[in-house]
Structure 1
Amino acid sequence: MHVHCGQVGEIREAMRSSPERFTRECADRFEQQHGEPPGDAELRSWARSWPVLLDALDRAGQAESWLVLEYTLAGSAERVDAVLLGARSRGGLTGVVVELKQWSRLTWASPLEVALEDMVRPHPCRQAFGYTSHLERWLEEATLDLEYRGVAFLHNAPVDVVHRLRDAVAGSRGSQDVPIVGRDELSGSDGAELARLLRCADLRPPTREQVDRFLRAEQRPSRSVFEDLDNVLSQKSDFTLVGDQQTAQLRVLRTLDPERSTKRQVIAVTGGPGTGKTVVALRLLADIPRIHSERGRVETRFITPSGTLRRQLARATESPAARQLFLLPGDFRAGREGVHVIPLVDEAQRLRRGDRTVERLVGGSPVSVFFLDERQVVRPKEGVSVAELERNARRFGAEFTHIPLTSQFRCGGSQRYLNWLDRLFSVDGVAEPWVEADYEVDVAANPEELSAWIRERGRDGRTARISAGFCWPWPDDASTGPLREDVVIEWTDERGRRHTWRRPWNSKHTRKVGDAVEAPRREFWATDPGGENQVGCVYTAQALEYDYSGVIIGPDLVRRDGGWVGRPDESHDKAMKGVAPDAYRRLALNTYWVLATRGTRGCRFHSTDPETQRFLRGLFPSHRESSDPSPTLAP
């Protein structure tokens, strides 16, 4: 899909004669293809960047070459800003991928990201290289003898910005080969030099037939994409399947056998934290195309509503093309004629209810696999269940299969701790005293003690994080300036001295001091250096793990008269607006249960509510002797 394709000279003339009409027609095609209109910022970007690019290509002698604007990559919602199509003198077609930016200044640059005044964006050279890698390994058209090149076109960027961007990717495989064309290159280069910079000096106009074949060519991942992904997964011991994980893997693979059944299949794989749902989904992502490729055109996509998990997995793959296998639910597209695309939906309990996402996933593929844990529903409009999946299977005349995973590898493998935690964070259950076991768990007297424990446990390469309920404001942060200390807890020690503990929420953007990362962006808070100095929430912790977990229970969940009470008025999560106390209690219990299951070696709690803190301390033998051993909080 694309919003326009034509010869450079013709497009240039159309924009010159009636720019508003041309842009409007492109916007109409965009809406027809994507189901929604382009945003105002995108329209402004088109109007500002396209004329400059077209003038440059015309000066570079490419007026009769073809330009594809807003070219959509199959398998994702990613769009290439522009692709210049030219023929090589010895035969074959070349696509020059053009990444357009309007940047004129930046704060810092790394091989992966660039910080502007109020945002952090991917490095344009890395973006262009990722697109060329995708096209090389997804676009099949042998007769065209396709090759790809990348260019970063920053028509407003002065010399110092261009140099900083180039220096940032020096030595980075692939990215270092993408030239950056800045403001001075555009104004100070003649046609021949500009053609060299734009990597089109050796290209001549393609035939219309070549262009048409390019636009009709199938976009699907080559075998090498899955081989790369398989190698990445196989080399990590964490991805080794054992026990009922292997059983689940084989049961899913059997459903794809056409000799077994010709009916549509809907599969639900359930399990608690650490049972390996993500592991199984990742293995199937690579296994299904390899095993079933001889039985028909079968592809897979790993889909998750968790932006944190998707970014973590996409970053873990070595191949930029393989990253396109990881999608958000709204980006999934059904297969083309003769091609089946199987969605592997992880964290499926976080799918929004009522927006027909499940119906679209089930109806768009002969086999759909959902990995979920109903206990991890933490928002009022989420909560896809096994029963709901079974109802949708019946609606589509599909065969439904439920595969439970029972063996867990989280929390040091301590089933005792998970059982104790289930009873602690249940609506009707009775909390029990903790009995010492092979998992470290306790209560911190105050937030500073919790921080000290996290610092101690986070030494020698171990990961230790503090997370909390969404009980403090979380304003949008800029990419520059000091981190705001949003989480503020006041407390009084046993001598009556008042203290204030402050920490920032995990950052929306990567934050750097010089070349050092002060705080990773929120999706990497749980895993990257710098995250230990911030407080995470359930949205950045869910689906991930770290060695030691400190959990701050805020005033939204308190213990009263032998039971838990939910207080939605204490939540700053916009998703909880208007939720009734009883419904909020269930969601809050799930939230803290999720946070308390992230640590693989140990967990320590602290409640900001004095009565709840006394209750928690009473569950541990070392704290039971004192009738009121906990410091009180300032009113």
Structure 2
Amino acid sequence: MIIYKESKKQFIADVFNDCIEEKINNQMIEKMHRHTGKAEYRSWANSMQYMYKVMDTDSIPDDVDVAIEYRIPNSNKRVDFIVAGEGENGEENAVVIELKQWQSAQRVTDKNGLVRTILGGSLRETTHPSYQAWSYVSMIQDYNEDVRKYHIDLEPCTYLHNYIRTENDPLLDRIYYYYTRRAPVFMRGDALKLREYITKYIKKANNKTLYEIEFGRIKPSKSLQDTMVNLLAGKEEFKLIDEQKVIFEQVLSLAKLNDNKKRTVIIHGGPGTGKSVLAINLLAKTMGELASNSMYVTKNMAPRSVYSEKLQDGNYRKTTIDNLFKGSGSFIDTPSNFFDSLFIDEAHRLNGKSGLYSNKGENQVKELINAAKLSVFFVDDHQQVTLKDIGSTEEIMKWANFYHTSIYEYTLASQFRCNGSDGYLNWIDDVLEVQPTANDVFDLDYDVRVYDDPNEVYQEVLKHNDNNKARMVAGYCWNWIKDGKGDSSVHDIEIPEFDFGMSWNLGSTSTWAIDKDSVSEIGCIHTCQGLEFDYVGVIIGDDMRYEDGHIVTDFTKRATTDQSLRGIKKLYKEHPEEALKKADRIIKNTYRTLLTRGQKGCFIFCTDKALSQYLKMRLDNK
């Protein structure tokens, strides 16, 4: 999506007539359903005056395309300014310009690609402007199939028009040469140099170029499970973006400390913010560069099984895999500080006791912090989906303080799932009343549909099952038929009024997410949490309905074979209000997780017709 798109001639006129910022703002409201803050509005007014000086020349043809605020596919990141056209030999080119209001910066010598500058009124570490511009272009190239198909050359650069160059300028230090060579830095007084950079690649207009950038086919994007082998081999599969890169470098700097002090890191992040990508990148880096005794830990068996399968395909030995990926109950007897680093993914799923019968150990959070010098917890407090889940931020803080560790907290905010639509995630939280907002208008730049027939949902999933990356999932409202756990022709889930029947994912496999024929089965929360697909079909069962203007949950409609709410009936007899509150949170968290597994789309069926109508109404009023 491009917010503002005009010819260079029209852009010049809009800036000259002092209406450019108003035009961008109006398009932002129309296309993204959001109002712009004063700071961003002022930045447009300021930056576009400088770009006017750069673009106001006969050497840049009047009819070349100018784009402002282009949203990168599968993310919520936006490119500031693009000039698109043709090169000297008819090749399709685009110059991608990251604009900055900075006035000063400082080097950061111990963290790759980071600088310090004033952001939000205080001095903070952030990515070097050249790293940002280069990583944004890399994302476009990675996601947009037409950019690769038509060999569109994207040339990144950054323009700090308020920044006065100094002798031995920190932004131009040789430690950043890898990035500044790929994305040159232009500063105050460099308008002519930036103009020459643009004219080097843009000789004449070609309206196809910007069209293909904006509307190019978005290929099924990389999934973590598919790139595991290369990541652990030290190959860069995912360009870490903005706060991902900052947090990665900050945690890595803690891992490099060799002072035998204990440290606890808590990284908050909602669905699709890259928690698992960051965890695996940190594992690979600490193992490779630092030769650290590191390990990836998660309570969820499904992602561990999938990663293990992929690594075995990459000729990793089983003993090596077992030493890299562990369940959270494996640290009961681990000596203090035995590990240099533990990266605990899906930490919200940690339990108190361990073992099949929950009769071992004391507390998994405590045991993990005890076992490592550096414990890194990746947490989303709204993804606790069973009564046994205790891995909250509060619980981690409690045991970090118990061991007198230094505590560091970071937040991953950028969205890289659900087509990068923050609006969709906010819509889900508001609709399910997980985190209601005062806003009732959301930018849903995401393929979400509600169907009246579960067969239609399944047909859409089949239609979108390119590369085996679409799946059906459902709330745990249907029992597993014991004798049919290895037979997909035995239908655990049946909705008779629609002549619909499917099997739960087979009990004979732990890799349902990547198995060849799994599209014919339905996954549950336990087989898909921590994983992602291109498209997901979600069946919302009788445990959630809509009545009297609110979302209502009903734990009595859960399957008797479901262990997520084990003990809730006893608690209900003793403390009914507490039981209802806990069950409500778990059921809503479950559906929130299921509804956010798809990178590109989500198709929904509700057994409760009133809930279906409510979701449709909320989509119509988005």
Are the structure 2 counterparts of residues 338 and 430 from structure 1 closer, same or farther at C-alpha, using a change threshold of 3 Å?
A: closer
Report the equivalent of 1:105.
Answer: none
The answer on 1:453 being equivalent to 2:447 is no
Report the equivalent of 1:310.
Answer: 304
- The Cα shift of 1:427 comes to 4.6
- The Cα shift of 1:506 comes to 0.6
1:601 maps to amino acid: K
Aligned pairs (5 A) from 1:188-587? 232=232, 234-235=234-235, 237=237, 239-258=238-257, 263-293=261-291, 298-317=292-311, 318=314, 319-320=316-317, 321-324=319-322, 325-332=324-331, 340-353=339-352, 355-427=362-434, 429=436, 437-458=444-465, 460-461=466-467, 463-477=469-483, 483-491=489-497, 499-509=498-508, 521=509, 523-572=510-559, 573-579=562-568, 580-587=579-586
Counterpart secondary structure, 2:507: coil
CA distance, structure 2, for counterparts of residue 389 and residue 444 of structure 1: 41
CA distance, structure 2, for counterparts of residue 454 and residue 399 of structure 1: 47
CA distance, structure 2, for counterparts of residue 566 and residue 300 of structure 1: 41
2:565 maps to amino acid: M
Instruction: Kindly indicate whether structure 1 or structure 2 has the higher relative contact order, using CA contacts under 8 Å at least 6 residues apart.
Output: 2
CA distance, structure 2, for counterparts of residue 424 and residue 233 of structure 1: 42
8 Å CA contact 1:424–1:431 kept in 2: the answer is: no
2:280 maps to amino acid: L
CA distance, structure 1, for counterparts of residue 384 and residue 567 of structure 2: 17
Cα deviation digits, residues 9-49 of structure 1 (max 9, x gap):
xxxxxxxxxxxxxxxxxxxxxxxxxxxxxxxxxxxxxxxxx
Structure (1 or 2) with the larger CA radius of gyration: 1
Report the equivalent of 2:588.
Answer: 589
Cα deviation digits, residues 172-223 of structure 1 (max 9, x gap):
xxxxxxxxxxxxxxxxxxxxxxxxxxxxxxxxxxxxxxxxxxxxxxxxxxxx
CA distance, structure 2, for counterparts of residue 359 and residue 557 of structure 1: 34
Aligned pairs (5 A) from 1:60-139? none
CA distance, structure 1, for counterparts of residue 566 and residue 339 of structure 2: 40
- The Cα shift of 1:253 comes to 1.6
- The Cα shift of 1:461 comes to 2.9
- The Cα shift of 1:264 comes to 1.1
Cα deviation digits, residues 252-299 of structure 1 (max 9, x gap):
12223437x653101111111111111111112121133334xxxx30
Are the structure 2 counterparts of residues 398 and 506 from structure 1 closer, same or farther at C-alpha, using a change threshold of 3 Å?
A: same
8 Å CA contact 2:271–2:417 kept in 1: the answer is: yes
CA distance, structure 2, for counterparts of residue 289 and residue 235 of structure 1: 13
1:310 maps to amino acid: R
Counterpart secondary structure, 2:289: helix
Are the structure 2 counterparts of residues 256 and 607 from structure 1 closer, same or farther at C-alpha, using a change threshold of 3 Å?
A: same
CA distance, structure 1, for counterparts of residue 365 and residue 503 of structure 2: 36
8 Å CA contact 1:420–1:431 kept in 2: the answer is: no
Counterpart secondary structure, 1:369: strand
CA distance, structure 1, for counterparts of residue 540 and residue 399 of structure 2: 37
CA distance, structure 2, for counterparts of residue 383 and residue 339 of structure 1: 24
CA distance, structure 1, for counterparts of residue 414 and residue 275 of structure 2: 11
1:584 maps to amino acid: A
- The Cα shift of 1:457 comes to 2.0
How many residues align structurally? 370
- The Cα shift of 1:575 comes to 2.9
Query: Gapped runs of 5+ residues in structure 2?
Result: 1-227, 354-361, 569-578
8 Å CA contact 2:546–2:611 kept in 1: the answer is: yes
Counterpart secondary structure, 1:371: strand
- The Cα shift of 1:330 comes to 2.1
2:563 maps to amino acid: K
Cα deviation digits, residues 483-509 of structure 1 (max 9, x gap):
410001133xxxxxxx32100001011
8 Å CA contact 2:473–2:538 kept in 1: the answer is: yes
8 Å CA contact 1:469–1:538 kept in 2: the answer is: yes
CA distance, structure 1, for counterparts of residue 377 and residue 566 of structure 2: 29
Report the equivalent of 1:199.
Answer: none
8 Å CA contact 2:234–2:288 kept in 1: the answer is: no
330-339 or 397-406, which deviates more: 330-339
CA distance, structure 1, for counterparts of residue 619 and residue 343 of structure 2: 42
Q: Percent identity?
A: 30
CA distance, structure 2, for counterparts of residue 338 and residue 360 of structure 1: 10
- The Cα shift of 1:432 comes to 7.7
Aligned pairs (5 A) from 1:52-63? none
8 Å CA contact 2:293–2:340 kept in 1: the answer is: yes
8 Å CA contact 2:504–2:522 kept in 1: the answer is: yes
Counterpart secondary structure, 1:331: coil
1:544 maps to amino acid: L
Are the structure 2 counterparts of residues 286 and 477 from structure 1 closer, same or farther at C-alpha, using a change threshold of 3 Å?
A: farther
Query: Gapped runs of 5+ residues in structure 1?
Result: 1-227, 492-498, 510-520, 625-635
- The Cα shift of 1:229 comes to 5.5
8 Å CA contact 2:287–2:294 kept in 1: the answer is: yes
RMSD between aligned alpha carbons? 2.7
Counterpart secondary structure, 2:604: strand
Counterpart secondary structure, 2:247: helix
Are the structure 2 counterparts of residues 347 and 561 from structure 1 closer, same or farther at C-alpha, using a change threshold of 3 Å?
A: same
Are the structure 2 counterparts of residues 434 and 605 from structure 1 closer, same or farther at C-alpha, using a change threshold of 3 Å?
A: farther
8 Å CA contact 1:465–1:550 kept in 2: the answer is: yes
Cα deviation digits, residues 411-430 of structure 1 (max 9, x gap):
11111111111111225737
Are the structure 2 counterparts of residues 247 and 481 from structure 1 closer, same or farther at C-alpha, using a change threshold of 3 Å?
A: closer
2:380 maps to amino acid: D
8 Å CA contact 1:566–1:582 kept in 2: the answer is: no
Are the structure 2 counterparts of residues 506 and 311 from structure 1 closer, same or farther at C-alpha, using a change threshold of 3 Å?
A: same
Cα deviation digits, residues 318-337 of structure 1 (max 9, x gap):
21143121111222477779
CA distance, structure 2, for counterparts of residue 283 and residue 271 of structure 1: 16
Cα deviation digits, residues 57-91 of structure 1 (max 9, x gap):
xxxxxxxxxxxxxxxxxxxxxxxxxxxxxxxxxxx
- The Cα shift of 1:433 comes to 6.9
8 Å CA contact 1:476–1:508 kept in 2: the answer is: no
Are the structure 2 counterparts of residues 453 and 229 from structure 1 closer, same or farther at C-alpha, using a change threshold of 3 Å?
A: closer
2:426 maps to amino acid: N
Report the equivalent of 1:67.
Answer: none
Q: TM-score, normalised by structure 1?
A: 0.54
Counterpart secondary structure, 1:366: strand
- The Cα shift of 1:615 comes to 1.6
548-557 or 321-330, which deviates more: 321-330
Counterpart secondary structure, 2:473: strand
